[in-house]
Chains A and B, each alone.
Chain A
């Protein structure tokens, strides 16, 4: 149980294009999903918290107009990196809240490379 999927697992795009990453909870409903960014050999950096049917809450320093988050259903959240640039290249991981409000289950991650 508590499986979270992400698609695509890897994407390479040209500078200036937009990229959409999907995060799905496969066997449970997730009212709250999270988006993280992780650089090599570093820990997870929370970007935003996404609640179903409402606007996402962004962490300090994260540009909400650059990283668009939509959580339209209880099983799907999307992250769109708009006008991507090489500095946006990173490993993006989503997670979904499950249980009694006290833990998260993570997706396998999406490796974004912007040329």
Chain B
């Protein structure tokens, strides 16, 4: 099936550090979204990207939609302990006629205070 690969799989950082994670696909998507999942909770939408090359920020989070429409990255600046969780990218609109999300494999972020 379709696969979105995220890297790294996990990150263990100190509070205050910047974080970068990315997501790649063999397929083109029309929209990229980034979600955060806390343990036992549903994914929470962080950022949505709609155009190739688009760079969007949401507070300390910045995400970009790759020019090829096959990749995206998410940066978190000045990490804090509550940034801990699993971050998922999701591609949407493959083939144009669907709005279902295909989720990436996830990046586990741990922040040491």
Are A and B part of the same complex?
A: no
